Structure 1
Amino acid sequence: MTTAPTEHRAKIAEARNVLGEVIARARFGGEATILVNRGKDAAVIVGPEFYEQAKADAAVLRQLRAYADEKQAAGDASGRQIARTVSEALAIAERDARSSD
């Protein structure tokens, strides 16, 4: 099991004052900084490797969703079963991702 990366929280104005440090933590330490505006999460600064992996993961999820939709539209029983299985797996992955936040 992998350990969760370190996350920091900072108000935008505070992060602005130490922007070089925030960027260094993201770039070299793999540590995210959540920027907070008026008590609410506004943005996240992450390193380029994390960002590229997140983009790739999102692309795979979009492809799986399109595959499930295609199988559902096919109309045959096996296609609907495949669509149901893929859709359930995606729902579980989304739920797990939300609960790990």
Structure 2
Amino acid sequence: MAADQGIQIADDGVAEVSMTDARANLTPLLRDVRYGGRPAAFTERGKRSAYVVPPDFYEQALEDRLTARAMWQLIDETFGEQRRENLEKELALYRDQLKRQT
């Protein structure tokens, strides 16, 4: 998308548009999200305040959240709170490692 339209592509690939420029850029921004598969964000004072994501991204996020809740419930019922606390710490370490790899 053209930068002169007020839409900027951030280092992480997210298309950003300020709330001030949002109205003038809404259609191209939404088309880029839908057809380009790129998430977008509205910004206020340079900080992201809301995201727009493709439908499949949102649906996958809901599915992932439900799966995570089910896993934690199973862990709680099977192993109890102490094991859950240990697993949460281990998962935090794995997430940090994955973040560094990407």
SS in 2 for 1:18: helix
For 1:54 and 1:21, the matched residues in 2 are separated by 24
Q: Which amino acid aligns with 2:30?
A: I
1:39 aligns with 2:46: yes
Q: Which runs of 5+ in 2 are unaligned?
A: 1-11
- Return the TM-score normalized by structure 1: 0.67
Change (3 A) 1:22 1:97: farther
- Of the three residues 49, 71, 78, the one matched with 2:78 is 71
Shift of 1:61: 1.1
The superposition leaves residues 7-44 of structure 1 with CA deviations (integer Å, 9 ceiling, x where unpaired) of: 11111221221111111111111011111112221010
The superposition leaves residues 21-76 of structure 1 with CA deviations (integer Å, 9 ceiling, x where unpaired) of: 111111111011111112221010111111111111111111112122222339xx
Change (3 A) 1:46 1:96: farther
Q: Which runs of 5+ in 1 are unaligned?
A: 75-79
Where does 1:1-101 land on structure 2 (aligned, <5 Å)? 6-73=13-80, 83=84, 86-88=87-89, 90-92=91-93, 94-95=95-96
Residue 3 of structure 2 is matched in structure 1 by none
User: Matched residues, percent identical?
Assistant: 25
| Number of equivalent positions | 91
Residue 77 of structure 1 is matched in structure 2 by none
Consecutive aligned runs of 4 or more in structure 1 exceeding 4 Å deviation? 83-86, 96-101
Contact kept, 8 Å, 1:65 with 1:87, in 2: the verdict is: no
